Amino acid sequence: MAGTDPRTSRLREWARSRWRDWTITLAAFVLALIVGAILMIAADPAVAGNFAYLFTAPGLALGAAWTKVSTAYAALLNGAIGSPAALAATSAAAAPLICAGLAVGLAFRAGLFNIGAQGQAILASMAAAYVGFAWPLPPVIHLVVAVCAGLIAGGLWGGIVGWLKARTGAHEVIVTIMMNYIAAGLLAWALTTTVFRRPGRDDPISPEVPASAAFPQLWGQLHLGFFVALAAAFAVAWLLERSTIGFAIRAVGANPSAAGTAGMNVGATTIITMVVAGALAGLAGVQAALGPSVNGVPVPLTEGLVGTIGFDAITVALLGRSRPLGIVLAGLLFGGLSAGGLAMQSVAQTPLT
């Protein structure tokens, strides 16, 4: 009896692995919809009150619940993808999540838990915004220099974590959590100085970044930064699957002891991974600092500008199974939830929190 073709076996194993990954992701999504429906019903006194008569008038209770949930989810879907403007808003909201998700996912592939994407994004937003409002440069050059400043700041902030991990064995989770607080403190302090604070203002807000340093607005809220995020995802996919350093990252993530025995420099791989991850998280901060608002000009730098991008990125990376394509899709999903959530709140009177 002829043996099984090794290529066929590998293909089957690959298909089985992908099917398992996508099944788990889909199950998580469906479960989230169910939990969300339960919370919406419980949060509406009029709908929840009908369940007191569930056994005497089940149609009334179930009908009210269905109307509430279906109206809310229809508004969510319409606000996320129901029009070109909605698609633009979804894409704009997804761009920083994709970049930060790539930062967390890349570290996952190397066996590292990068909780520090938040701090890396904050430092990058500071660097990009400063170059934006303080350096008078020609339009295209201005944007490129501001983006590069953010990438360098995020990469250096992540590189510190990688260096400490490689040289001292310090756990990256503890280090990144502490560095998140340091980054937030640095931003809060910087906005009290004359270097960052807007002249004539006492509140912590920077001067506005001019349009010359902003990502060009393409349609509605959609700007060039979204396509930069897609390019970053493609670059990470190529790095992991087609490059020598990508092979080392995957090998170290699978078994660092075996990788070291095979001659790979585990410490150097750890540092490089965190530098690249920091730069990717920095790109998310750049998106926040240089992404145009409705009027086409970026909002000023404030303590809350980055929001919770770095922490949301952990969920995006996990939902995307740390794969670039999965992270892009998860980022779009969360971008849709962000854009559609406003319509959901308005139409269905559903609280966002």
The predicted pLDDT at position 298 comes to: 78
Average pLDDT estimate for 308-337: 93
66 domain-assigned: no
9 domain-assigned: no
* Tokens linked to 39: 């919370």
232 domain-assigned: yes
The boundaries of the domain holding residue 223 are: 99-337
Q: CA–CA distance from 13 to each of 16, 142, 246 (Å)? A: 5, 48, 21
76-95 tens-digit pLDDT: 888 888 889 899 999 999 99
7 domain-assigned: no
The predicted pLDDT at position 55 comes to: 78
63 domain-assigned: no
Q: Return mean pLDDT, the chain.
A: 89
224 domain-assigned: yes
Question: What's the whole-model pTM score?
Answer: 0.88
The predicted pLDDT at position 87 comes to: 92
Alpha helices in the chain (DSSP H): 6-43, 45-50, 58-81, 84-109, 117-134, 139-168, 172-190, 224-242, 244-254, 256-261, 266-290, 309-319, 324-348
Task: Report phi then psi at 217, rounded to 5.
Answer: -80, 130
Q: What total of structural domains would you count in the chain?
A: 1
115 domain-assigned: yes
Could you give the percent of the chain with pLDDT greater than 70?
96
Is 98 within 8 Å of 324 (Cβ atoms)?
no
223-244 tens-digit pLDDT: 999 999 999 999 999 999 999 9
73 domain-assigned: no
